[in-house]
Structure 1
Amino acid sequence: MAGPGVKLLLSAILVAFAAFLYTFLETPFNSIVFEAKNSNPGPYTPHNPSICPQVPALRPKNHEIEQSILSKTSLESYHKNIITRLTGLIQIPSESYDDLGPIGLDPRWDIFFSVEAYIKKEYPAVFETVTLDHANTHGLILTWEGSVPPDKAKPILMLAHQDVVPVLPETVHEWTHPPYEGFFDGEIIWGRGATDDKGYMISLLESLDLLISSGFKPKRTVVVAFGCDEEISGENCGRPISDFLHGRYGDDGIYLIIDEGSVGIQQEFNRSFAMVSVAEKGYIDVSINVSSTGGHASNPTEHNTIGILSEIITAIESNPFEGKVTAANPMFDFLSCAAVHAPKSSFPGSIRSHLAQIASRNEKAEQDLARELDSLRYYFRTSQSVGKISGGLKINAIPELASAMVNLRLAVETSVSAVQAHYEALISPIARKHNMTLEGFNSPQASQSTSTNPRKISLSAIDALEPAPVSPTTGETEPFSILSGTIKRALRPLSANEEDLIVTPYLMPANTDTKFFWALSRNIYRFTPINLVENLNRAHTVDEFIRASEFVREPVFFSTLVLNADDAV
C-alpha cells in the first residue's frame, strides 16, 4: 500500500496531465501542426553550402596591371587628386527639373555642357583613348574598343548619371556647407551629388584613367555611359543612350551592366554583406480626376468633387496592398544568405523556419514573415503615396474639378494591370454611390468619351513601368560570378573580425536608368561599392555627403571588374 507521500505525488501528476490534456484538446490541431513546422529551419541553417554559395576572391591574371593600380591608389597624393576632382564636379550645379523643356530649347540643359567640358579637362588621357558619342546632345557614351570583336566578346557597360536633384532655395541655410561648394573637411566630402551620383561618375572615369596609365589593353570592349536626367525619369538621355547602344550591339549584346545601387555594403545580423540589387520595383503614377457641374456655394450639393476625391483617397489609404515575402523576391535570397552566413545567435529562428515554408509555397508563411519584417515592408509590398492634390478656384464657387496624383512602386510579384484593377475595384463603389460614371484606365480619354454624364471619375496611368526582370545569380552565371569574385577581391567587410564579405542578391526599391536596358542584357546589376547606410539618409536632401576614405577605394573595384571581365574572354 502506497504511503501518503506517494499518493500526494500521484495526485499532482494526474492534475498536471489533466491540465495538459485540456490545453491540447482546446488547441486547434492545425495550430499544433503549424507550430511544429514553424520550428523546422529546413536547409536554412548556418554553414549550409547549398544555400547562397560564395565564389572565391578573383584576382586578375594580369598581376602587373593590378599591382600598378593598387600602388597608385594607395598614395596620399592620389587621394588628394581624386577628392579634388569630385569636389570640382560637385561645384557644377547640374540640376534636372520635372518641368524641363526639350534639349536645345530649354536653356537649363546648358549646364551639362559644363559637365562635359570639366571631365574632358580632368581626364585628357581617357578622352584621347576612348571614342565619345553623344545621345541627344548630353548623353555621353565612352567606348574603349577591345581587340576582340563585340560579336565574339560582348562588351561590359558601366553607367552613372550627371544630373542631381535640385536644392530648394529655402533649405540652403540648413546645409553644414553650401550645397555646391564641394567642401572637404578632411574626412567628409559635402555637397549635392556627392553620393548620388557624381562620386560614382568620377570613380568610373578614374578606373579608366588608372587602367590606361598602367598600360592595360582590353580584349573585351569597355563602354561607360553618363545620363543627364536620371532623376526625372531618364527619357532625355537614359533612353537615347540605350537606343544608341541597342542599335550598335543588338538584343542581349552586352555581357554585363552595372549601375548605382541602393545599399552597397551593409552589416545586418552581425555580418557584412555586399548587397547587389538584381531587380527593381515597378513604377506607376495614377491620376485621379473627379468632375461634376459647378454652381454657387450658397446652394451646394451634398458631396462636391473635393469631398468625393477625399473619399477616394481615404479608400486608397485604408486598403494598402498586401505584403508578402515570396521566393520570387530577391529579398528572399538575401534572407536565405543571412540565414546561412550570419552568426546563428544573430539570426532569428522564426525567419529560418518561415523561409523553409516559403520555399514550399506556404502562403500563410509569406504573409507572416512580411509582418515580422514590417520595418522592411516596402521591399515586400507595393507602396502608394498621394503626392499631389488640387481642386477649387474660389471659396464661394462649387468646384467643377478635383484631382490627385498617386505614386506607386510595384512589388516584384505584381504588374501594372493588377494595380489598375485594384484601384478600379476600390473606386467603382464610390462612383456608383454618387451616381457618377467611372472612366477606367482603359477607357477612352475624357475628350473622346461618349458619356453624357458630366459627373464622372477618370483614372489614367502615367510613366507605367513593370517590375524589372530578375537578373541571374546562380553559380553557373559567369557575369555574376565575376562580379562576386571582384567584390571579394577589391572590397572588405565593415568589421575587422570578419574574413570577407558575403555577396548577396538584393532588391532596388527605386528605379535607375537600367530600366531602359533590359533588351541589351539579362545580366544587369546595381551596386555601389561602399557603405551607403548613412549616405542614403542624406541623398536628395540637406547635407548630402560621402566619406572620403570609402570614395577613394571605388576606382579599384571598377578597374578590377574590367580586368576580371577581360580575363573571361
Structure 2
Amino acid sequence: MAEHSSQRRDKSPGISSWFVHGTLVIGLISAFIAVFIKSFQSSSPPVLHKYTLGTDSGICQQVPKLSPRNKQVEQYVREKVDSEEYQREIINKLSAIIRIPSESYDDLGPIGEDDRWNVFFEVQDYIKVNYPTVFENVALDHANTHGLILTWEGSVPPSEAKPILMLAHQDVVPVLAENVKDWTHPPYEGHYDGEIIWGRGATDDKGYLISIIESLDLLIKSGFAPKRTVILAFGCDEEISGENCGRPISDFLHEKYGDDGIYLIMDEGSTGIQREFDQSFALVSIAEKGYLDVVINVSSTGGHASNPPDHNVIGILSEIVVAIENHPFPGKVTPNNPMFRFLECGAIHAPESRFPMAVRRMLGPAAQNDSFSQEQLARTLDDMRYYFQTSQSVGKINGGVKINAIPETASIMVNLRLAVETSISQVMAHYESLVSPIAKKRGMAFGGFHSPCSLTDKRKVCMFGVDALEPAPVSPVDAEPYRILSGTIKNVLKPLAPEDSLIVTPYLMPANTDTKFFWALTKNIYRFTPVNLVENLNRAHTTDEFIRADEFVREPLFFASLILNADDIVG
C-alpha cells in the first residue's frame, strides 16, 4: 500500500471543510477504496482469492477426454469388454490365478536354491496357457528366472518413439494359517459370488496383471499394429523388496533402452477412484515416500540378576524408544508435496460447502512457503498426517534370554517412511541427536550411522541404517504423458463417477512399488489403479481381500485405450 501514501494530506481538514467539500471527499474515499480492493486482488500473496474463483483460477486445469483415433479398434475392445461372455472369461481367469498361492516371504533364499520360489513357474505357465495369442506376438525375456518381460515391438524404432511400460507383480502377501478361518471365503479359492471376486491378490496385484495382459490380447486380436513398442513386466518379489525380480527387470530394460529411454511407466496405485469432499477424484500418484529401517543396538556387560545395574540395556533402550516417540517428525504441507496439488484440486472443484474453509484459507500462504501456515495446515489435516510427515514405527524389539540373567544386548528396529521434503541424511541426523545424549548420560560409547560399530562392543549404543531409499522424484504433471493419461481416465472411467464430473488430480503414494528401480528410465512414472479402492485398498494385505467384478472387467479397456492414445501421437 506504500504507493498510495503520498496521496495523504499533510493536515486533516476541519469539520467545516468536510461539510463544504463533502461530495469531493466522498468521491476520493470511494476511489481510494476501489484502488485498495484492486491492489489487494492483484497483490502478492492473494491469500484466499484464487481459491474461490473455481476453474477460472487456472488451478487444477482438466484436460478433455481423449478417445483413440482408431475407432474400429476401440469399438472392438469396447464391445468385447461389454459382452457377458468376455466378462465371464476374465473373471474366471482372475479366479484361477488367485488359486496359485504365489506368496513371497521375508526369509526367502536365492532363486534356484529355495524351493518356495518354484510356485512362480506355475504363474508363468498359467499366463502362457491362457494367452497364446499374446505369446505368439511378443518377445519373452526372463530376469533372474522369474521376472517376466513381454515386448510387443512397434513399427517405429524406440529411438524415435519411446516405449510404454506397464508393471505388475506376481507375488502376494502370505496368509498365516491361523488366519484362514477369518476369511469369508478361503484366501486361495478365488471365489466369485456374482458381484465380488474374493482372494489374496484380487486387488494386489493379480487383478492388475490380468488386466494389462488382457489389454494386449484384445489389441492383438483386433488387428491393431502398434507404432510405439509396448512392454509388460511382471516382478516376483514386490512385496518383500523387489531385489530378486524388480531390480533385474529394471537393469535389463536400462541396458536395452538407456537413461530416459521409456515414454511412460504405469504401475499399481494405492489409490484409484475415490470420493473426497463430495467430489469424485481419480488419484494419480506421482511420487512415493522414502523408506528407511533403523536398527539401534545397546550392548553392555551381563551378570547375575541378583546384582543388577541401575539401568541395564533394556532400560536404556526403553529410554531411547520413549525419546523417539516423544519427538515425532514435524508435519508440513508444502507445494513440493503432490498432496498440495490434490488439496488445490479439492478447493477448486469440490462443492464449496464441502471443502473446509480453514484449509482453503491456509492454502494461499502455504503456497508461498509461509512456514506457519504449512505447519498449521498439517495440524488441521491431522487424519491425513502421514501424507505430510515422516512416519516412524518401532516394529521389532529383541533382548534378554533368561529371567535371572542381566541381558548383554538389546535392539530395536524402527520403520520410517520419509516425507517428500526430507532426506535420509536428515532423518539420520535427527535420530543421532536423540540417541547420543542418552548414551552419554548412561556412560555409554556412541556409534552413529557412519561410525564403525560392532555388535560385540560393550557399553556402546550403535545405530545402523537398512534398506535406505530416498523419496521418489516427483513426476511432471505438465508433460505430454500425464495429459494423455488424464484424457484416457476422463474418457474411460466416467462410469465410476456417475454422480458428477471426474477430476484427475496428482496424489502421493505413501508405500513403495517396484517403480523405485526405474527412476533412470523415465521421469514419467504414474501409479494408478482404475477402480474404486475402498476399505483400505479393498482390504489388500489383510483378511477378505476383494475386487468388484463390474469394475475389474473394464480395466482392460482402460489400459488398451491408454496404449492407443499413446500410439496416436507417434508421427
Aligned residues: percent identity? 69
Which residue is equivalent to 1:115?
123
Task: Report what 1:538 is aligned to.
Answer: 539
Q: Deviations over 1:277-302 (max 9, x none)?
A: 00000000000100000011111011
Distance 2:207 2:269 in 1: 13
Structure-1 residue corresponding to 2:304: 296
Partner SS for 1:99: coil
Say yes or no: does 1:454 pair with 2:458.
Answer: yes
Residues 1:135 and 2:143 are matched in the alignment: yes
Q: Which amino acid aligns with 1:43?
A: K
Aligned to 1:496: 498
The equivalent of 1:368 in structure 2 is 376
Q: Which residue of 2 aligns with 1:26?
A: none
1:470 aligns with 2:478: no
Provide Cα deviations, 1:227-256, integer angstroms capped at 9, x if missing partner. 000000100000000000000000000000
Pairwise CA distance, 1:494:
4.3
Q: CA deviation at 1:351?
A: 1.1
What is the CA RMSD across the aligned residues, in angstroms?
1.4
- Per the TM alignment, residue 40 of structure 1 is displaced from its structure 2 partner at its CA by 4.1
Q: Distance in 2 between matches of 1:537 and 1:496?
A: 20
Q: Secondary structure at the match of 2:396?
A: strand
Could you say what secondary structure the match of 2:415 adopts?
strand
**Could you say which residue in structure 1 is the equivalent of 2:281?**
273
Equivalent position amino acid for 1:297 in 2: A
- Report the 3-state secondary structure (helix = DSSP H, G, I; strand = E; otherwise coil) of the residue aligned with 1:225: strand
Match of 1:435 in 2: 443
Match runs of 1:211-250 below 5 Å? 211-250=219-258
TM-score, normalisation: structure 2: 0.91
- TM-superposed deviation, 1:349: 1.6
Deviation string 1:53-91 (CA, Å, 9 cap, x unpaired) is 111001101010000100111000111000000000000
Q: What one-letter code is carried by the residue in structure 2 that aligns with 1:41? A: L
Match of 1:456, as an amino acid? Answer: K
Whole-angstrom CA distance in 2 between matches of 1:147 and 1:347: 48
Q: 1:481 aligns to what?
A: 483
SS at match of 1:103: coil
Shift of 1:350: 1.6
- Partner SS, residue 463 of structure 1: strand
Cα drift, residue 38 of structure 1: 11
> Which sections of structure 1, spanning at least 5 residues, go unmatched?
1-36
After TM superposition, the structure 1 = structure 2 runs for residues 314-329 of structure 1, keeping only pairs within 5 Å, are 314-329=322-337
Could you tell me whether the CA contact under 8 Å between 1:90 and 1:181 is conserved in 2?
A: yes
2:49 aligned partner? 42
Matches within 5 A, 1:377-396: 377-396=385-404
In the TM superposition, residue 333 of structure 1 has moved relative to its aligned partner by 0.3
Q: Which runs of 4+ in 1 moved over 6 A?
A: none
Residue aligning to 2:5:
none
Question: Deviation of residue 537 (structure 1)?
Answer: 5.1
What SS does structure 1 have at the residue aligned with 2:228? coil
In 2, distance between residues paired with 1:462 and 1:40?
A: 43
Hey, what's the Cα distance between the residues in 2 that align with 1:318 and 1:148? 58
| Cα shift at 1:493 | 5.5
* Equivalent position of 1:13 in the other structure: none
Q: Aligned-pair distance for 1:47?
A: 2.3
For residue 445 of structure 1, report the CA deviation from its aligned partner.
3.3
Partners of 1:459 and 1:104 lie apart in 2 by 34
Preserved CA contact (<8 Å) 1:437 1:455: yes
Report the secondary structure of 1:116's partner residue: helix
How far residue 535 of structure 1 moved from its aligned partner, in angstroms, is: 5.6
Counterparts of 1:457 and 1:343, CA distance in 2: 54
- Residues in 1 aligned to 2:210 and 2:189: alpha-carbon distance in whole angstroms: 17
Per the TM alignment, residue 495 of structure 1 is displaced from its structure 2 partner at its CA by 4.3
Match of 2:424 in 1: 416
User: Match of 2:469, as an amino acid?
Assistant: L
Aligned to 1:12: none
Contact 1:41–1:349 (Cα < 8 Å) also in 2: no
Distance in 1 of aligned mates of 2:56 and 2:416 = 38
Q: Report the Cα offset of residue 48 of structure 1.
A: 2.8
Q: What is the Cα deviation at residue 324 of structure 1?
A: 0.9
1:22 corresponding residue in structure 2: none
Deviation at 1:454?
1.9
Deviations 1:292-336 (A, max 9, x none): 000111110111001111110111111110011001000000000
Give, in angstroms, the shift of residue 129 of structure 1.
Answer: 0.6
**Per-residue Cα deviation, 1:83-132 (whole angstroms, up to 9, x for no partner):** 00000000000000000000000000000000000010111100111000
Read off the aligned partner of 1:95 and give its amino acid letter: E
Structure 1 contact 381–411 (Cα < 8 Å) conserved? yes
Counterpart of 1:62 (choices 45, 63, 70) is: 70
- Corresponding residue for residue 315 of structure 2: 307
Match of 2:512?
511
Gaps of 5+ in 2: 1-43
**In structure 1, what is the Cα distance between the partners aligned to 2:244 and 2:418?**
23
**Aligned pair count?**
527
Output the CA distance in 1 between the equivalents of 2:222 and 2:165.
21
